[in-house]
Chain A
Amino acid sequence: MAKIPGISFFGKTRELMYLQSYISINDNTSALVENCRQIYECTEVCVRLLTGSFEIELWGSGLMLSSYAENSVEVRGTIEQVKLVSRGNRRDRNDIGKY
């Protein structure tokens, strides 16, 4: 697991410039993800999104994705799990699989 520094210069800069990803979840019916960079996958049970620092996985049933504004997506359906995977860990994991 990657070490998260207590005070990070880039982290503070991203916070001040609103480059962090904002995730708002309403009950288990919808989740709004802002500063979404890419959509990897959107099936009925899993939605994978890429933000600046994390890869967000939403698990559930009847999931559907909508994009109403720039870099924002809304996931609707029955959300059961939200998984945040750090982009560094993802690279490590991919490397593990690769080798």
Chain B
Amino acid sequence: MTLGSIEYNIYGENFSRLLSAFTKEKLIYSTLHETDDCLTLTISFEHSFQFEKICRKEGFEPKRIAYHGMLKFYRSIFKRPGLIIGAVLSVLLMAYYSNVILTITVDTDNDVVYGKVIDVLNSDGVKAGAYLPDIDLVLEERSLKRQIDEVAWAGISRTGSGIAVDIIETIEPDRGVTVGMPCHLVACEDGVIEEIELIDGQLMKCLGSGVTKGDIVVSGKIVSEESEWSEKGEVVTSKTRYVRSIGKIRGTFIRTMVFEQPFDTEEKVLTGKKKKLSYLEIFSARIPLSAKIPEGYFETEKEEKHFPEICGFMLPMGFTEINLREFDIRSQILDKDEALSRAEKSAYRYEQNFLTNYEIRNRTAESDFTEDGVRLTVTYELYGDLCKESDFFIPKYIVPELEIVQKENVQDSENY
């Protein structure tokens, strides 16, 4: 009775003929008993069709009164189509989600590398919702190693309905310790030296002298000569030391910048239209809840809403809303004053971004209007650092001598 059993009632007067037929047909039944004019018995579902056939042949009409076992369960399920639909949907979803990517985890703390890995994976079609059997993980590992410089090794493995990307980041080799290495201080602007703070090195220019870009102001090669008189005459002993030039050389220099502003410009104008896109996020998958994505230019603002935590466990589901503000790029013709004002704004931004380390002693601006736009030439008289460090290589033919010098230099650098 694998499928359960059915309890029947048969109404009639004399059942001996029917019972003989049961025996003759070797029917299997249970709990058979007569009460008044009713014969009650239970038949397994498999034999119920044969039983009903026998009854009708003998002139009786069996009536089903109860179901037992699995049959009762099956009937109760059939009365609830929601359960069947839910079960079928669950099976289909399980089959589907076991073969698509739901989560992508990247084993890195570096946000930049994480973003690059996700970008490469997305460009190769490896994203939430992608069909896993179609993805060659080995090729994807190679793609990651080839396209991202920061990734020295990548390994991708399947974790249930997701993939885990293990990464070993590239460790940049040390560029070498330059603290103790010899260097010059070289002028990086054309100007006049006004202040010198020298700790080590050979000063090549005097205070108040002018320098051009590239001049060695403080040399790291110190040559000292000692002269001694002997019977043979004057003996000059030359000794060369290589040091790291340390110091501040400040001075005044002129810098000229040109800022251009065309009259014909493009301007971003908000149209006032606002739209909202909603997404349901399940693990790493982002499912759009709107059928159509509007076309046009939009400023975006992202808003994420996660489901509340349950006992400290963050549910991997949430809603993301992207607020869109439409804008239009329109052509605009500026008048002279407006164009000049914009050019001056550009100059101001330049000063704020690039001249904060200098003292602006003088500033002259000349505007020149052409057919296409305005040309603002600003001349700055700046006071600040004139020189920058410039490493130099020691010629190979003095290397034996250098060994001694290097030791001296190490001692020197330690002193500083």
Instruction: Known contacts A39-B19, A40-B16, A44-B35; decide if A70 and B26 are in contact (CB<8 Å).
Output: yes
B348-380 interface with A by 8 A CB criterion: none
Contact B20–A39 (Cβ < 8 Å): yes
Is A43 part of the binding interface, using a Cβ–Cβ cutoff of 8 Å?
Answer: yes
Query: A63–B22 Cα gap in the complex (Å)?
Result: 18
Is B277 part of the binding interface, using a Cβ–Cβ cutoff of 8 Å?
Answer: no
* B28 surroundings in chain A (CB, below 8 A): 67-69
* A64 surroundings in chain B (CB, below 8 A): 30-33
Is A13 part of the binding interface, using a Cβ–Cβ cutoff of 8 Å?
Answer: no
Nearest B residue to A65, CB-CB: B32
Contact B35–A36 (Cβ < 8 Å): no
Is A80 part of the binding interface, using a Cβ–Cβ cutoff of 8 Å?
Answer: no
Contact A68–B30 (Cβ < 8 Å): yes
Query: A73–B71 Cα gap in the complex (Å)?
Result: 25
Is A38 part of the binding interface, using a Cβ–Cβ cutoff of 8 Å?
Answer: yes
Contact A67–B22 (Cβ < 8 Å): yes
A41-66 toward B: CB 8 Å interface, digit per residue (1/0)?
11110000000000000000001111
Contact A42–B33 (Cβ < 8 Å): yes
Is A37 part of the binding interface, using a Cβ–Cβ cutoff of 8 Å?
Answer: yes
Query: A43–B29 Cα gap in the complex (Å)?
Result: 16
Partner of A44, one of B26, B29, B33: B33
Contact A66–B30 (Cβ < 8 Å): yes
Contact B27–A67 (Cβ < 8 Å): yes
Q: Interface residues of B toward A: which range? A: 10 to 19
Partner of B23, one of A39, A43, A44, A66: A39
Contact B20–A42 (Cβ < 8 Å): no
Interface residues in A, total, Cβ within 8 A? 19
Nearest A residue to B20, CB-CB: A38
Query: A37–B339 Cα gap in the complex (Å)?
Result: 118
Query: A37–B26 Cα gap in the complex (Å)?
Result: 11
Contact B33–A39 (Cβ < 8 Å): no
* B20 surroundings in chain A (CB, below 8 A): 38-39
Partner of B35, one of A41, A43, A69: A43
Contact B29–A38 (Cβ < 8 Å): no
Nearest A residue to B18, CB-CB: A39
* A76 surroundings in chain B (CB, below 8 A): 31
Contact B22–A39 (Cβ < 8 Å): yes
Chain B proximity of A79: nearest CB distance (Å):
14
Query: A76–B31 Cα gap in the complex (Å)?
Result: 8
Among A40, A66, A69, residue most surrounded by chain B Cβ atoms (within 10 Å): A66
Contact A37–B30 (Cβ < 8 Å): no
Chain B proximity of A48: nearest CB distance (Å):
9
Chain B proximity of A72: nearest CB distance (Å):
10
Contact A43–B16 (Cβ < 8 Å): no
Contact B23–A38 (Cβ < 8 Å): yes
Nearest A residue to B33, CB-CB: A64
Contact B16–A41 (Cβ < 8 Å): yes
Instruction: Known contacts A40-B16, A41-B16; decide if A66 and B34 are in contact (CB<8 Å).
Output: no
* B32 surroundings in chain A (CB, below 8 A): 42, 64-67
* A68 surroundings in chain B (CB, below 8 A): 28, 30
Contact A65–B23 (Cβ < 8 Å): no
Nearest B residue to A76, CB-CB: B31
A77-88 toward B: CB 8 Å interface, digit per residue (1/0)?
000000000000
Contact A42–B19 (Cβ < 8 Å): yes
* A41 surroundings in chain B (CB, below 8 A): 16, 34
Chain B proximity of A43: nearest CB distance (Å):
5
B7-23 interface with A by 8 A CB criterion: 16, 19-20, 22-23
* B31 surroundings in chain A (CB, below 8 A): 64-66, 76
Partner of A43, one of B22, B26, B27, B34: B34
* B23 surroundings in chain A (CB, below 8 A): 36-39, 67, 71
Nearest A residue to B29, CB-CB: A67
* A65 surroundings in chain B (CB, below 8 A): 31-33
Chain A proximity of B3: nearest CB distance (Å):
17
Chain A proximity of B336: nearest CB distance (Å):
110
Query: A67–B26 Cα gap in the complex (Å)?
Result: 8
5 contacts between A and B (CB under 8 A): A39-B23, A42-B32, A42-B33, A67-B27, A76-B31
Q: In the complex, given contacts A42-B33, A66-B31, what are 12 additional A-B residue pairs having Cβ atoms less than 8 angstroms apart?
A: A37-B23, A39-B20, A39-B22, A42-B34, A42-B39, A43-B33, A44-B34, A64-B30, A64-B33, A67-B22, A67-B29, A68-B30
Q: Which 10 A-B pairs have the closest CB atoms?
A: A66-B30, A39-B19, A65-B32, A64-B33, A43-B34, A64-B31, A70-B26, A67-B29, A38-B20, A42-B32
